[in-house]
């Protein structure tokens, strides 16, 4: 395998001194220091909406630009693009937090008065794996193999007996994880209605289930879901929940739905499988209170400001995948990937099962590199909080308005004419790539500083 060429210092210095460097830098800065920007070429101009004439900047030059532009690649994975993955994680964090504590992104603070639970749903076991276990009193106990594993031990998550591990079950479960979640929400509504003494149909007139869920890969190569579940009034975030909607009622309904949820996998060789959640489930109420601790003795998450903590925890896995970055092209391709033997086995199983006609609908080869997980890493119900699109829109609007401010006009009096075509993807050489990474680092540090101060009010 060829090693990537290292940027040499002289060439880096030359790049920094070149005449177009400043312009190049501002283009890369606009993408947040994206590692693989999409290069566009074309023009944009600002015209007066009524007259159609091109507006002028304070220095008298026309408010138009032609040339090149970079658009961020938008990849969620840190291994592909640190800048875009970082922004994805930040957006996910804001999205989850807003729905939990309100007070930003158009979500009222009254959401904090509603029953809100932080729930972790897991996959069942498909065979024992090496792990680092702690007993109830926090003592480290030996792994089932008899050894004690260091937390960075690569053996963690690998099966103790690979020959006995149920890879088919693992792949089928993972491929249905999204469906299991959907089924779970249906059962959850059913159990909420039952506890409230109304029908499922009537529930819509009284309450609404709002949630955001994040998928996170565990080291054994299977995902689990962290979900923020909230019970609202029928109109969502701004609507008060009915008096019967308590955290206890919601907790019980979650446990009942967790047990009841099952999805039938397509038959293989007349072999039926019913897929369900793992027994491990964690349900914690989030209460609006002024305690300083993240958790009290009962494991309740008490401080509302620590919604941040929960959001951070829930979204910490967005940039990691435990899998490959791009779709797998062939069974042989799997051998070349830099993943553990266990992950390779999962991929091979997904690849082989993907060849079966009865499993066509699962599209397993397409999702082989994701260890057969076909779902979204973050999804939310309609009224949970803001959306990714809105967050991105907010950023764009802000930049756009800055431009307008310079010219001294308002958004409703101008028309923007954009015409761009993609010319290539990625930076031109290792030097530019290196500089882009440095820009991303700088922006990340600035953003961290901003977040830290944001909620000190």
What is the distance of C-alpha 132 from the center of its chain? 26
**Of 63, 73, 263, 324, which one interacts with Zn ion (CB under 5 A)?**
73
Q: In the complex with Zn ion, which residue's Cβ is closer, 72 or 157? A: 72
369: part of which helix (H) or strand (E)? none
C-alpha distances out from residue 15 to 38, 70, 341, 441, Å = 20, 18, 42, 19
- Rounded-to-integer distance, Cα 360 and Cα 172, Å: 12
Q: In the complex with Zn ion, which residue's Cβ is closer, 158 or 261? A: 158
In whole angstroms, the minimum distance from the beta carbon of 38 to Zn ion comes to: 9
Q: Extract the tokens encoding 182.
A: 């959907």
Q: Extract the tokens encoding 75.
A: 């990849």
- Rounded-to-integer distance, Cα 248 and Cα 254, Å: 10
Interstrand relation of 301-303 and 281-289 (parallel, antiparallel or unpaired): parallel
**Of 89, 143, 223, 286, which one interacts with Zn ion (CB under 5 A)?**
143
- Rounded-to-integer distance, Cα 159 and Cα 446, Å: 42
**Of 55, 69, 84, 311, which one interacts with Zn ion (CB under 5 A)?**
84
Stretch that binds Zn ion, among 28-36, 118-126, 226-234, 327-335 (CB under 5 A): 28-36
Residues 193-222 that bind Zn ion (CB under 5 A): none
Residue 353: CA count within 13 A, CB half-sphere: 30
By CB under 5 A, residue 145 contacts Zn ion: yes
Q: CA nearest 249: which of 188, 181, 180?
A: 188
Stretch that binds Zn ion, among 66-74, 184-192, 227-235, 432-440 (CB under 5 A): 66-74
Taken in order 19, 25, 30, 36, the sign of the CA dihedral is positive
Q: In the complex with Zn ion, which residue's Cβ is closer, 45 or 156? A: 156
Q: In the complex with Zn ion, which residue's Cβ is closer, 142 or 393? A: 142
**Of 28, 34, 117, 310, which one interacts with Zn ion (CB under 5 A)?**
34
Q: Extract the tokens encoding 80.
A: 């592909």
Stretch that binds Zn ion, among 1-9, 122-130, 184-192, 381-389 (CB under 5 A): 122-130
Q: Which phi and psi angles does 153 have, rounded to 5°?
A: -60, 120
**Of 76, 130, 365, 427, which one interacts with Zn ion (CB under 5 A)?**
130
Stretch that binds Zn ion, among 93-101, 130-138, 162-170, 219-227 (CB under 5 A): 130-138
Residues 360-419 that bind Zn ion (CB under 5 A): none
Q: In the complex with Zn ion, which residue's Cβ is closer, 77 or 369? A: 77
In whole angstroms, the minimum distance from the beta carbon of 286 to Zn ion comes to: 33
How many other β-carbons are positioned within 10 Å of the β-carbon of residue 11?
13
Count of positions (residues) in the chain: 457
Stretch that binds Zn ion, among 101-109, 135-143, 258-266, 391-399 (CB under 5 A): 135-143
By CB under 5 A, residue 89 contacts Zn ion: no
Q: In the complex with Zn ion, which residue's Cβ is closer, 72 or 375? A: 72
By CB under 5 A, residue 81 contacts Zn ion: yes
Q: Extract the tokens encoding 36.
A: 């693989």
Point out which residues bind Zn ion (CB under 5 A). Answer: 34, 72-73, 81, 84, 130, 143, 145
């Amino acid at each position: 395998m060829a090693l990537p060429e290292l940027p040499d210092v002289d060439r880096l210095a030359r790049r920094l001194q070149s005449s177009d460097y400043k312009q190049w830098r501002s283009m890369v800065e606009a993408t947040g220091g994206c590692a693989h920007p999409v290069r566009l070429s074309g023009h944009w101009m600002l015209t007066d909406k009524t007259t159609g004439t091109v507006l002028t900047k304070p220095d008298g030059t026309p408010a138009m630009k032609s040339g090149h532009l970079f658009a961020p690649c938008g990849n969620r994975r840190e291994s592909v693009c640190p800048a875009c993955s970082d922004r994805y994680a930040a957006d996910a964090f804001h999205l989850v937090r807003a729905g939990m504590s309100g007070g930003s992104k158009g979500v009222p603070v009254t959401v904090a008065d509603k029953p809100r639970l932080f729930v972790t749903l897991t996959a069942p076991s498909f065979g024992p794996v090496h792990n680092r276990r702690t007993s109830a009193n926090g003592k480290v106990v030996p792994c089932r193999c008899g050894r004690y594993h260091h937390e960075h031990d690569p053996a963690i998550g690998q099966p103790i007996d690979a020959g006995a591990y149920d890879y088919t079950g693992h792949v089928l479960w993972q491929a249905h994880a999204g469906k299991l979640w959907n089924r779970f929400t249906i059962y959850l509504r059913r159990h909420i209605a039952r506890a409230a003494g109304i029908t499922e149909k009537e529930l819509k007139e009284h309450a609404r289930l709002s949630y955001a869920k994040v998928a996170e890969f565990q080291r054994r190569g299977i995902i689990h879901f962290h979900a923020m579940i909230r019970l609202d009034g029928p109109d969502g975030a701004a609507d008060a929940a009915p008096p019967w909607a308590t955290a206890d009622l919601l907790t019980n309904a979650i446990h009942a739905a967790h047990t009841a949820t099952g999805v039938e996998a397509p038959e293989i060789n007349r072999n039926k499988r019913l897929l369900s959640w793992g027994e491990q489930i964690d349900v914690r109420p989030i209460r609006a209170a002024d305690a300083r601790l993240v958790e009290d003795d009962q494991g309740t998450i008490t401080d509302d400001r620590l919604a941040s903590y929960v959001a951070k925890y829930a979204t910490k896995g967005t940039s990691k995948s435990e899998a490959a970055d791009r779709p797998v092209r062939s069974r042989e391709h799997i051998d070349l990937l830099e993943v553990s033997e266990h992950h390779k086995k999962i991929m091979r199983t997904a690849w082989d099962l993907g060849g079966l006609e009865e499993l066509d609908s699962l599209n397993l080869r397409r999702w082989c590199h994701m260890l057969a997980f076909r779902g979204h890493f973050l999804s939310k119900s309609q009224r949970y909080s803001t959306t990714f699109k809105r967050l991105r829109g907010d950023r764009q609007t802000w930049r756009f308005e800055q431009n307008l401010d310079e010219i001294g006009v308002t958004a409703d009096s101008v028309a923007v004419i954009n015409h761009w075509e993609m010319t290539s993807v990625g930076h031109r050489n290792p030097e530019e790539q290196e500089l882009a990474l440095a820009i991303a680092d700088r922006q990340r540090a600035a953003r961290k500083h901003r977040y830290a101060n944001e909620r000190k009010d």
